[in-house]
Structure formats: C-alpha cells, structure tokens
A and B are shown apart, each in its own frame.
Chain A
Amino acid sequence: METVTVTSQSYLTFWLDDELFATSVADVSEILELSKITKVPRAPHFMRGVINLRGIVLPVVDTRLKFGLEKIPDTVDTCILVLNLTIDDQQIVLGAIVDSVQEVLEIDAARIQPAPSIGSRYKSGFINGMVKHHDQFIMLLNIGLVFSTEELSILQNTSDQESTTHS
C-alpha cells in the first residue's frame, strides 16, 4: 500500500576555514593523508601540484584558494579528498585539499533548504542547498561545477585581490 521513496542521501562533510561543507559521497572515492605534492610551475595558484596515487598522476587543488580563502599552513588534519567527477562528459579524477573531514551524514532531502540567493558568501550555482545540523549550517556543494569553472574564485562580490595578486 505504502510507496516508499528513498529521499535521503549520504554526504561527506568537511571544514574549510570556519564553514562546514558537504558533498555527496558518490563523488568521493577516497580520502588521503597529505603526502609530498609536486609543484607544477606556472600553473594557476589554486593548483597545488600533482601526487602519485598508486601509479596515477593526480592533480591536486587547494580548495581554500579555489574558494577564495587565504592560504594557511597545512596541519595534521589537512587531507586530500579524491573526487571522481564527470565534467563535460569527461571522467575526471582530482584531489581536493580540505582543512579536515568531519563525518558521513545521512541527509533527508526534505531537510534541505534552498541556498539564500542574497547575503550568501558564495556565487549562486555553486551551493545546491543548506542543511542545519547540530546548530551548524552545512553547505551542500555542487562540486562538479566548483571544479569545472574557469573562475578563479567562487566567492561572491569579493575584491579581485586573489586574481590580481597572481597574474
């Protein structure tokens, strides 16, 4: 009699600065400790370099810089999310450096609130929605868009300092 629709999905949450973000676990294939990253000279500043992932050369993005946050020294909690994304019909594997990972959460679709279009720090489109969890707002990221965008920062209306310091 009853029709049950699966409306909840698993999300991985992680910290960047003082904000908690979440991405669907389907996009994350593994979490790595920070290892030696080989710099690629003359690449965009948010591209930290490449690492060896079991014989595959994996590009690594400094998510803080991509998000327009300031650069901080790496800590023991700093880690790399290995993301498996489909961008423009292309399967792309990349590493995203985040401050720390928090947990895997089951989030009910009904609890997701739309991202505020006004007053948000981030440009619309990059945030799929928000969820309140233990008094903390979690930003659900459209991670494919974040890493396929040509834009240097996804911050809304910030000064262009990030792009000017680097060109």
Chain B
Amino acid sequence: MDHLQGIFIAEAEELIASLEETLLQFDKDRTNKTFIETIFRSMHTLKGSASMFGFESLSALTHELETVYDLIRTGRFTATNEVLEVTLEAIDHVKKIIRDQAMQDPANRARHETLRTAIAGLTSVARGQQSNTPAGVATFYVHCRPHANVQLKGTNPLYLIEDLVSLGSARVLPHLHEVPPLDALDPTGCYTGFEVFLASKNTLDEVQGVFIFAEDCCDVTVEKIADSDLLLVPEFIQALDIKPFGAAPFGLPAIRHLVTQALRAGVTATAGAPAATAPAPAATSKNHVTSIRVSSDKLDELLNLVSELVTSQAGLTLLAARHDVPGLANLAENMEKISRRLRENAFSICLIPIDTLVTRFQRLVRDLSKELGKEISFSAEGVETELDKSIIESITDPILHMLRNCIDHGIESPAEREAKGKPRQGNIRMKAFHSGTSVYIQIADDGKGIDAEKIRQKAIAKGLLLADTVLSEKETYDLIFKPGFSTAEQVTDVSGRGVGMDIVKRNIEAIHGEVSIASRVHEGTTITIRLPLTLSIVDGMRVRIASSEYILPLTAVDKCYEIETHKLRQEHAQKIEFDGDLLPVFNLRQVFHEDEPRPDITQVIKVQYDEFPVGLAVDAVVGEYQAVMKPLGSFYENREEFSGATILGDGTVALVMDIHKLVRQLIDENRLLHQH
C-alpha cells in the first residue's frame, strides 16, 4: 500500500503542478474555456485518485473545489479574483496535506477548515447567481461509408458532409484506403468514406436526420460519444491528427477508447507544454501510449552505458584502422553511426524544456509582488529551449534567488515608478536561447538598475576592493558575486542577507556555467546565465599539440586554416590575416609551454568566442571524436580552461577544452602582458 501511495503522491504532485500552471494561465485569460476545462478535469482526477488511495480529506477538499469549477465551466458562475485566490491557496494546502494526510500538523488542520469555509462561501455565492446558459454541447461520432454506386443514385456524399458540418463545429476525416490505383479506378464509383466528429447542440435524432434520404445508399453509424465539446480537448484532436489519410477508419470501439484516454490525458499532460514527444502513428489506436514514467536512476544508468559504449566503440574504430581485416572497417563504421544515434537519442530523453520551471517562477513573481505591494508582470520567452535534467535541477534555486532579488530590489514600487515616468507595472522578462555549445538564460527587469559607483564604494567599504583599483564596468558588476557582498541598504525578509549571489555564482559554476550582470541606472538590470548543453558527451574535434591530444567542442569550431609554421611568431598572441580579415591567433604551443620541435605546418582553428572569432594554433587536426566527459577532479579544479577529460580509443586521456573560458583567460592574460 505504501508503494501505491507513493505512486499516487508522485502522480498527484504532477497533477497539482499542471493545475497550478493552468490556473496561472487562466488568471491572465479568464475567457479561455479550455483552461477551465483543464482545471476541472485535473481536479476531478485528483479527487478520484485521492479517494481511491484513502486520502479522504484531500478528496473532500478537491471535491468542493471541483464543484466551484463545474459551476464556472457551465457558465453559472464567473471566476473572480477571489475564486482564484482561494483556489491557489487551496492548492498550496493540498501540496502540504498530501504528505500529512492525517493532518497531524495543527496548522494544516486549521487551514483546512478555513479553506473549506471559504470554498463553501464561493459555492453559495455561485448558487445564488442566475444561470442563463443551458449550454448542452455534445460530441457525436458519425461514420459514413457511401456505397460504391452512391453517385449513380443521385446523391453527392459531399452535400451530406456539408449538412453535418452546418450543425456545429466539426472535424472531418476522409478514408482513402479503398481508393484503387488509377488504372482500376471507376470514375463514377465512390471509394471514399469519412468519419466526422461533430460538436453540436442538436440531439442524436437531429444528427441522424441528415442521412434520412441517404440511408439506402450509405452505411451510417451515428453515436454520441461525449457530453462535452471534445474538439476543445487538444489531446483528442492530436490523437485524431496523427492518423494518416490512407488509413482505415477508427471504428466506434477505438473512438470510445480514444475519448476516455484523451479526457484522462488532458489531465495528466502538462497543459501548455509543447508536444515534445510526438506520439508514433499507431496503425490501430488501441494501445495509444504517448509517454511513460521512468525513474531517473534508470536514465542515469542508460547514459552511463551509452558513455561506455561510445568509449569502447572508439577502441573498435582504432583497432579496425590498425588491422586490415576485411569487413572490420565497415563494421566499425556502422557501429559508430549506430552508437552516435543511440547517444543522441539517449541524451534527448534526458532533455527537459525550461518550460517546466516557468510555473514556479510565475508563482513566485505573483505571490511576492503582491506581498511587497508591487505590480509586476512576468513573461518568459524561448521556454521550449531544452536542457539536461541535471542542469535544470541545479539552476532552479539560483534563478529563484535572482528573481527574488529582481522583485525585492530591482523593481520599484508603483508610486516610485510613476514618479520616474515609468509605467506602474514593472516587468521581468526571462529569455532562454541556444548559442553555439551553450544555452543562455537571461533575466531582465526594468527596475531601478544598479549603480556601478555604489557597488564600487561598497566593495571598498567592505574591504573587498582597494580604493585605487581601476575596474571595467563588467568587473565592477562582478563584485556583486563576491562572498559577503549585498547591495540592499535594508535587509528584508526576502533577500539581502549578503549571502546569495556568491552562492548563485558557485552553483552555476559547479555545472560549468557562468553568470554575469549588466545594468543601467533607472533602466533595469539584466542577468545572463550561460550553461553548457549537456554535461556528459560532446562532439569534438581531436587536435594534437606537441605529444598531447586535446578535444575542442565541435560546435564552437568554425573553420580550419593551414599555415607554414615559420610564419607564426613564437608569441602567445598575434594577428594573422585569413580570408582578408585579421584574426587574433593564440599559439597554444606557446601558451601550454611546449618546447618540442615544431612541425613545418601549423593548423589554425577559427573558433567563435562571444561576439568575435579567434584563432587557435595547434600542431595537427587528428579527426572527429565523441568525447565522454570525465571530471578532472579537485586537483585541477582551477584549470577552468579544461572542462574535463576523455578517454581515447587507445586508452590514453585527452583533455577537453572549454573554448569560451580558455579564450577569455588568454585575452585577460594578454591584456596584462601589454599593460606591463
């Protein structure tokens, strides 16, 4: 039973999360009926499974909430702010009592009663409101297969469809599977059947009436399949859409199955999430499983196995190259292709869209801005951007912290904003996007911004900075991430205890990410987080410098040039002309203190660094390599220019460069060199 309850809790938490998300969407767009339907269905499912697993108090509470939303759904009650407020509170409460179902915590018990009264209050108000829309839309399923000679009898099946469609909103699926090849086709014959899903207020008899004169030349089935408008249920439409035109009709039993499934799926699927895993078109829609729940341990194990496979496969490729065994090279090449695809597949399984976090952020902005008496809107762009699940887990708290800072310190109070000539409502925008090997997440507010001079003064006052140090603007803002730095003049409940931003930075750096701040006084602050796409395998270019091999992430590599070594000066940095442009080139042989004899030809690899390209001079390009990332360990944790190491086919180790960090270090070092 404990195990079952565990499953229920996991499922319920997912349900609650999606419920919360839909509620917040509904909060913005109160007229959207789909949201109400989704909310209602979620509550209904939650109630049902709660009572099944013996969570009685939970079930009772959701039942009452469900009643309210049923009234709203049927148009007998309007969703007011009060309703939403109570609902959100109730959901928070549900989150708590799901783990304390006996309500041993007296606070939970007290809140439970308050909420029940509040909900009962809503219902009684609702019952008092006059209802005037007896909307009884039902969905009908019509399957019509006109006989082959229907046209000879003077009936045009298309008119039948038109008549049907005029009764309400409809979705028509033609069935072309019986259409013969052109040479066998009788132009007067009818080979097409169709299925219609009709959402209409008419009765079954009225719908059947359409076929009254066609009954003798068509096989017709008309059936009512739901008491609601199924065409508004995205899951149902999706299930219909995946069916190819050439396929056979669904048939009534399959449709019935689909209906129950769609109604259920509409509850479990996170509403609003993009259909990331497109369901495979099943020939029969019977076992229509769109997603399954897998424990993350199993996924981790899968990834480990894939990593091992990729490493062994590199060994095989090497062996095939060394021994001229007929067929072995082919086999190795094939294995490489398969393991690459397997790898990509396994990794895409572990990618989660940032979308999954947005609800939490929205909720935080909503609640906290109310609490602080500020008016703030939150918008998120690029939420479909995907990141490794482990990365998503590690960035949630840092982002929440930064949002808290934005709300607490960044955005001014409405009055202050008006005085400055800004709109009353503040704005926080989150934007996520891909660029090269990285994913960027930006959080921008249009608040009061951070005064660089103030930071400087404060850093000096706190002894973090010497008074005569000259810092660039970026370096000044980086001071915010120093331990023991907090810009808040007053410590509030929400943020500003002087711990935080340094921890944010540390957490992000722990996953090889970076964070930076840019700000304009009175205009706002933008925080940018750069994150690696995945932590475990990178597609790389294998290069050699002296006797060591290195891996450069392929996504950063732009182009390779060959030059004669004597044209390269023995310096760390220089500018060389390629394709008519001067490219800053770093001689990695010099940078890495390699003094073995130089080869005659040097390869210059053009890589993309931030906004401008940079060349890296290496001895040779060896080839492509799928690098399984291994940590370098704490002894090398200061060597940021290497994001890790990988094991090559022959068992030796190659270092994987973090081009972004390497180039930044080189630029900084050379600036210092020139200053001296």
Contact = CB atoms under 8 A, between A and B. Distances in A.
Interface string A13-43: 0000000000000000000000010111111
Given A59-B636, A94-B633, A38 B653 contact: yes
Contacts of B645: 38, 50, 57
A81 interface: no
A40 B637 CA distance: 12
B651 A40 contact: no
A17 to B, nearest CB: 23
Contacts of A42: 591-593, 639, 641
Nearest to B548: A39
A51 B591 CA distance: 22
A13 B87 CA distance: 71
A38 B641 contact: no
Interface size class of B (residues with CB under 8 A): 20 to 34
B673 to A, nearest CB: 15
Given A38-B654, A50-B645, A61 B631 contact: no
A56 B630 contact: yes
Contacts of B636: 40, 43, 47, 50, 59
Nearest to B650: A36
Interface string B635-650: 1100101101101000
Contacts of B642: 40
Given A51-B653, A52-B651, A57-B653, A40 B630 contact: no
A43 to B, nearest CB: 6
B358 interface: no
Interface string A46-58: 0101111001111
Given A38-B548, A40-B639, A41-B593, A90 B634 contact: yes
Contacts of A61: 635
Contacts of B631: 57
A47 B593 CA distance: 15
A55 B304 CA distance: 11
Contacts of A92: 633-635
Interface string A82-97: 0000000010111000
Contact of A57 (B548, B634, B647): B647
A59 B633 contact: yes
A82 B359 CA distance: 48
Nearest to B642: A40
Interface in A63-104: 90, 92-94
B277 interface: no
The dominant DSSP class at the B interface is mixed
A129 B511 CA distance: 42
Contacts of B654: 38
A57 B646 CA distance: 8
A57 B592 contact: no
B307 to A, nearest CB: 9
A130 to B, nearest CB: 28
A147 B100 CA distance: 49
Contacts of A59: 632-633, 635-636
Contact of B653 (A43, A47, A52, A93): A52
B495 interface: no
A41 B592 contact: yes
B652 interface: yes
Contacts of B633: 57-59, 92-94
Contacts of B549: 38
Given A38-B654, A42-B592, A51-B653, A57 B635 contact: no
Contact of B647 (A39, A52, A90): A52
A50 B653 contact: yes
B308 interface: yes
Nearest to A41: B592
Contact of A55 (B311, B639, B655): B311
A42 B548 CA distance: 14
27 contacts: A38-B548, A38-B645, A38-B652, A38-B655, A39-B548, A39-B592, A40-B632, A40-B639, A40-B642, A41-B548, A41-B591, A42-B592, A42-B593, A42-B639, A43-B639, A47-B635, A47-B636, A49-B653, A50-B636, A50-B645, A52-B652, A57-B630, A57-B645, A58-B633, A59-B633, A61-B635, A94-B635
Interface of B: 308, 311, 548-549, 591-594, 630-636, 639, 641-642, 644-645, 647, 651-655
Interchain residue pairs A-B with the least CB separation, the first 3:
A41-B592, A38-B653, A59-B635
Given A38-B654, A50-B645, A59-B635, 16 more contacts: A36-B652, A38-B549, A38-B652, A38-B653, A40-B655, A41-B594, A47-B635, A47-B636, A55-B311, A55-B647, A56-B630, A57-B630, A57-B644, A57-B647, A59-B636, A61-B635
Interface of A: 36, 38-43, 47, 49-52, 55-59, 61, 90, 92-94
